Amino acid sequence: MGRMRMGVLDIGSNTGHLLVVDAFRGGPPVAAHSYKEPLRLAEHLDADNAVTEEGISRLVKYVIEARAEAEDKGCTTILAFATSAVRDAVNADDVIARVTESSGVDLQVLAGEDEARLTFLAVRRWFGWSAGRLGVFDIGGGSLEIGAGSDESPDVAQSMALGAGRLTREWLDAGRSQAELRLHVRATIADEAGAVLRGGSFDRAVATSKTFRSLARICGAAPSSEGRFVRRVLHKRDLSPLVEQLRTLPADGVLHLPGVSPDRAHQIQAGAIVAEATMDLFDLTELEICPWALREGVLLEHLDGL
C-alpha cells in the first residue's frame, strides 16, 4: 500500500467534521484538510426523539458538500460514521437511508462501545506501549466514552449518556440546578466505574475530544497554534475552581474564555461537571490531552484491515 488520501467523515451530535488525511503503512496519518459544519443534530429532535425533517435536510446537505469537498481534495475513499445523536434517534434507519440515497455516502452508525474502543486504539497508537495501562476518557455532545486496558483494544469499553450537549439541553436549559446535574452525573459514572477499576489503576490517564481540549486550554494548557506535540495536561486543582466559576458566569463571559468556540460555549459548564466527576471518581489528579481520537481510530482500524 502506497500513500492514500482518504476522507473520514464524523457526524457528531454537535458538528459534522470531514477530515482529509494522507495515510500510508508504517507512518502516522497526516491531516491535510478539514471541513466542519455545526449541524446541532441533537437540537433537531422532536418530542419522540426522532430527527426532524429540518435536521435531516441539514445533514443531507452537509454530507453532499463534504463528499464534494473530499473529492476535490483527491480522496477516493470516504469512511463515514455517526455517533450518539443518530444512534439514539428513533428514526435512525430512515436518516441513514436518506443520506445514502441523496449523497451516495455509506454512513455507518457506531455503537457507543465501538466509539470507546476506537478512541482507545487511537490513543494507544499515539502514546505507544510505554504508556502501560491506559485510561481513556472522551466527552462528546451526546455521550461520555471510557476505555481502559494494556493492549491495543481496551479490556473495558463503556458509553454513558453524559454528553455535554445532552446534559445542557436536558438539565441546565430545562431549569434544573447544577447540584442536581452534578449528582446525576456522579451516580451514573459511579455505577460503571467498578468494571474499569477492577482491572487496576492506570499508568496513564488520557482525555480526548473538544470539550476536554477546551477545558485544558481555559486552565492554562498551550493553544493549538503551538502544534500537536506539546504536552497538554488538565489538572484537577485548576478544574475544580473553574466548575465553580462557570456556575455563575454569564454567557458572554464564557465566550471570552480562551479556547472556547461560540458553537460550544453553552455546553462548557456541563462538560466541566462531567470532567470533574470523572477525575474525582477515578481518583485522578491530572488528565493528559491526546490530539488523536475517534476519527483517527476509525481510520487506523480501516488501514489495519487493508
pLDDT in tens, 119-142: 999 999 999 999 999 999 999 999
Confidence of residue 1 (pLDDT cuts 50, 70, 90): low
Compute CA distances 191 → 3, 65, 114, 157, 188, whole Å. Answer: 45, 42, 20, 14, 5
* Residue 68 cell numbers, joined: 464534494
The band of 56, judged by pLDDT with boundaries at 50, 70 and 90, is very high
Q: What is the pLDDT of residue 165?
A: 94
What pLDDT does residue 276 have?
Answer: 98
Q: Number of structural domains, the chain? A: 2
> Same structural domain for residues 76 and 220?
no
Weakest-pLDDT range from 24-38, 147-161, 290-304: 24-38
pLDDT tens, residue by residue, 264-301: 899 999 999 999 999 999 999 999 999 999 999 999 99
At 83 the pLDDT is: 96
For residue 185, give every residue at least 6 positions away whose Cβ sits within 8 Å of its Cβ, in sequence order, or none.
162, 167, 273, 274, 277
Q: Is residue 304 part of a domain?
A: no
* 229 lies in the same domain as 258: yes
Give per-residue pLDDT as tens, 198-219: 999 999 999 999 999 999 999 9
pLDDT at 292: 97
> What separation in angstroms does the CA of 62 have from each of 65, 112, 145, 207?
5, 23, 26, 28
The phi, psi pair for 233, rounded to 5°, reads -130, 140
Q: What is the pLDDT of residue 211?
A: 96
What's the whole-number mean pLDDT along residues 147-152? Answer: 97
> Are the CB atoms for 89 and 11 separated by under 8 Å?
no
Query: pTM of the prediction?
Result: 0.97
Average per-residue pLDDT for the chain: 96
134, 123 contact by CB (below 8 A): yes
My answer on whether 102 and 127 are in the same domain is: no
Domain carrying residue 49 = 4-109
Judged against a pLDDT cut of 90, whether residue 220 lies above it is answered with yes
- Residue 238, pLDDT above cutoff 70: yes
Domain-ending residue, one of 76, 109, 142: 109
Whether residue 302 is contained in a domain is answered as: no
CA distance 117 to 125: 12
Kindly report the CATH number assigned to the domain that includes residue 161: 3.30.420.150
Contacts of 170 (CB under 8 A, 6+ apart): none
Q: Is the pLDDT of residue 159 over 70?
A: yes
Q: Model confidence at 36, in pLDDT bands (50, 70, 90)?
A: very high
- Give the integer Cα–Cα distance in Å for 278 and 274: 6
**Can you give the pLDDT at residue 79?**
98
